């Protein structure tokens, strides 16, 4: 079954990270696919929320605002798309994500129509 | 029939869930099978293997229900489920009598135990909210009716029904696996299971809201489940520790409420009303649990309960031993409540003033804000130190957040006693002043 694994953590943590640690963590992120070859289908790190734009359409009017959907203490920093046989298999992958040690990882089943 | 239902419901539902992975379907099929059994056996008598009869019938009803569903994307999967169910169904329910035999019955029983264990771990999966874990466990493993569970936890039946529906939906939609966790995760997941049972027992023993302080049926169900887990996981010591704790605490229940339904403190309980058989069984289990490593907090709590059980009269309580056990618990599983209980125990060894200082420290940390027990404990210590005015203030504080009616009445009686003593004191002082 497909799951979306959403990575939330305080952006400042990543931005203020010393270079060596950043490199090491990046390697972990890149390496997750190798650690779970049959599960990780894809994923991306996202640029910080200051680059975000939110679009809403109300009564036919397109409203564009600067910033992410919601101001929260932890921000969406990236995601993986994984294929896993059950929730426990998905949790195994999520637990290996570096941000899990500081932030929160949300696991959401992907809808099938 | 009631006894059979209680004994077999969990096994039958667990087996059906294993094959169909559908909680609703499993429960409905089981329900139908029991209803059929009631009718058929009234006429033809109870078969030699009642469990096999009901299981077979339930599998048939499950097949019927799946067939009646509209064709869906899951059709292929459903056909596979029907095939699996059919493989285990014999020609007629009466054949189950012959087909089983004693050997067949044992092999069947072992498989059903495996299924029940899977079910326990599924119901108590950490991805489900704690209240959902508790509700689902009581419903699917013990076959308690939604209404019964609702009443036990003092929520409307519709709320409990919703809770169960959502829990099952989560299991289905997020694909929570139906299995016993692998060895490397068993200890951690078992903690979750035991914690859910502990919640059930605690709710039954010291209800957080409502009229009755002790809801007997919840304690009984928690103990039943704990016994089941002990039986299904004989190599683990943690379930033994929990069962020991439950039995030793439950042994005191008959003395906990007075004839008028009023709360009776441990030091005032009529110990002749304690259930000695239960206490003895609990003590034996506690001894086993205390030998196991790593030492589990439940084992230490059981040991404390055993020390109380060993005292024929309150005055004979070995408080020094209890204090030592709390010191162990404070290391093993520190928490504000453990600190509070440790402070209470220390009062008997080092005096109320010493204990009061510790309680005040706990309070200033803010950890137990909104919990009436801290204020009530402080009040009790001030009462013992005969500082009546301060005790009265503390009792009023406790009353602001107390949850159950018997506890409220107890606090109110103490408050009145304080105020009565205050009035006496005041009258004496004024009388003295006048005479001067």
The model's pLDDT over B277-290, given as tens digits with 9 standing for 90+, comes to 999 999 999 999 99
Residue A87 has pLDDT above 70, yes or no: yes
For B126, name the nearest residue in chain A, comparing CA atoms only. Answer: A88
Shortest CA gap B176–chain A (Å): 5
pLDDT (average), residues B159-185:
91
Rounded distance between C-alpha atoms, residue B121 and residue A71, angstroms: 37
Residue B91 has pLDDT above 50, yes or no: no
pTM, full prediction: 0.80
* B116/B214: higher pLDDT: B116
DSSP letters spanning B209-242:
SBS-S--HHHHHHHHHHHHHHHHH-TT-SHHHHH
Rounded to 5°, the CA angle B6-B9-B14 comes to 145
Residue B232: name the closest of B201, B190, B196, B204 by CA: B190
Q: Does A107 touch chain B (CB under 8 A)?
A: yes
Provide the token pair at B399: 């009353």
Q: What is the pLDDT, as a whole number, of residue B214?
A: 57
To probe the interface with B, which of A3, A5, A87 has the most B CB atoms within 10 Å?
A: A87
The structure tokens 């239960």 sit at B278
φ, ψ for residue B418 (rounded to 5)? Answer: -60, -45
DSSP3 helix / strand / coil % (chain B, rounded to 5): 75, 0, 20
Q: What is the pLDDT, as a whole number, of residue B136?
A: 94
Q: What is the pLDDT, as a whole number, of residue B73?
A: 63
DSSP letters spanning A85-103:
SSHHHHHHHHTTSGGGGTS
Provide the token pair at B260: 């008028």
The model's pLDDT over A16-48, given as tens digits with 9 standing for 90+, comes to 999 999 999 999 999 999 999 999 999 999 999
Classify residue B254 by burial, with Cβ atoms within 10 Å: 0-12, 13-18, 19+. middle
CB contact under 8 A, A87 and B173: no
For A106, name the nearest residue in chain B, comparing CA atoms only. Answer: B127
CB contact under 8 A, A86 and B177: yes
Rounded distance between C-alpha atoms, residue B186 and residue B192, angstroms: 10
Residue B101 has pLDDT above 80, yes or no: no
To probe the interface with B, which of A4, A86, A91 has the most B CB atoms within 10 Å?
A: A86
Q: Which residues of A touch B173 (CB under 8 A)?
A: 109
Q: What is the pLDDT, as a whole number, of residue B434?
A: 60
Q: How far is CA B269 from the centre of its chain?
A: 23
Q: Does A24 touch chain B (CB under 8 A)?
A: no
């Amino acid at each position: 079954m497909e799951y979306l694994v959403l990575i939330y953590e305080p952006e400042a943590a990543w931005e203020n990270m010393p270079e060596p640690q950043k490199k090491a963590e990046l390697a972990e992120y890149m390496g997750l696919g190798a650690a779970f070859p049959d599960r990780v289908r894809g994923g991306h790190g996202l640029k910080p929320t200051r680059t975000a734009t939110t679009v809403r359409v109300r009564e036919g009017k397109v409203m564009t605002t600067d910033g992410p959907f919601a101001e929260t203490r932890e921000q969406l920093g990236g995601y993986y798309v994984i294929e896993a046989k059950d929730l426990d298999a998905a949790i195994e992958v999520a637990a290996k994500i570096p941000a899990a040690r500081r932030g929160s990882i949300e696991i959401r089943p992907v809808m099938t129509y | 029939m009631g006894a059979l239902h209680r004994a077999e419901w969990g096994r039958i539902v667990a087996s059906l869930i294993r094959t169909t992975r559908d909680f609703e379907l499993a429960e409905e099929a089981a329900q139908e099978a029991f209803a059929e059994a009631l009718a058929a056996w009234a006429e033809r008598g109870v078969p030699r293997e009642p469990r096999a009869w009901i299981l077979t019938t339930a599998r048939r009803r499950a097949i019927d229900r799946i067939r009646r569903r509209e064709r869906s994307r899951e059709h292929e999967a459903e056909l596979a489920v029907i095939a699996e169910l059919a493989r285990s169904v014999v020609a007629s329910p009466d054949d189950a009598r012959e087909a089983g035999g004693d050997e067949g019955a044992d092999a069947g029983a072992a498989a059903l135990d495996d299924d029940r264990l899977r079910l326990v771990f599924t119901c108590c999966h950490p991805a489900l909210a704690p209240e959902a874990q508790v509700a689902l466990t009581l419903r699917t493993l013990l076959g308690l009716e939604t209404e019964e569970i609702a009443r036990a936890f003092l929520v409307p039946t519709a709320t409990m029904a919703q809770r169960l529906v959502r829990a099952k939906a989560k299991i289905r939609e997020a694909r929570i696996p139906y299995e016993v966790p692998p060895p490397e995760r068993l200890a951690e997941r078992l903690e979750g299971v035991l914690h859910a049972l502990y919640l059930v027992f605690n709710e039954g023993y010291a209800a957080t809201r409502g009229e009755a302080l002790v809801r007997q049926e919840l304690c009984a169900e928690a103990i039943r489940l704990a016994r089941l887990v002990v039986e299904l996981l004989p190599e683990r010591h943690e379930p033994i520790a929990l069962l020991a704790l439950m039995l030793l605490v439950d042994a005191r229940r008959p003395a906990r409420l007075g004839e008028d339904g009023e709360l009776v403190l441990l030091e005032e309980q009529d110990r002749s009303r304690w259930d000695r058989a239960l206490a003895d069984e609990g003590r034996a289990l506690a001894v086993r649990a205390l030998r196991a490593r790593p030492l589990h907090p439940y084992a230490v709590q059981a040991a404390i309960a055993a020390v109380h059980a060993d005292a024929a009269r309150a005055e004979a309580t070995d408080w020094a031993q209890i204090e030592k056990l709390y010191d162990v618990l404070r290391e093993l599983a520190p928490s504000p409540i453990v600190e509070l209980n440790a402070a209470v125990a220390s009062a008997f060894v080092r005096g109320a003033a010493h204990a009061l200082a510790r309680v005040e420290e706990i309070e200033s940390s803010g950890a137990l804000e909104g919990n009436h027990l801290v204020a009530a404990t402080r009040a009790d210590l001030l009462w013992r130190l005969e500082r009546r005015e301060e005790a009265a203030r503390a009792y009023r504080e406790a009353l602001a957040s107390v949850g159950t009616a018997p506890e409220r009445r107890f606090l109110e009686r103490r408050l009145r006693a304080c105020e009565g003593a205050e009035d006496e004191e005041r009258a004496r002082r004024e009388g003295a002043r006048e005479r001067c």
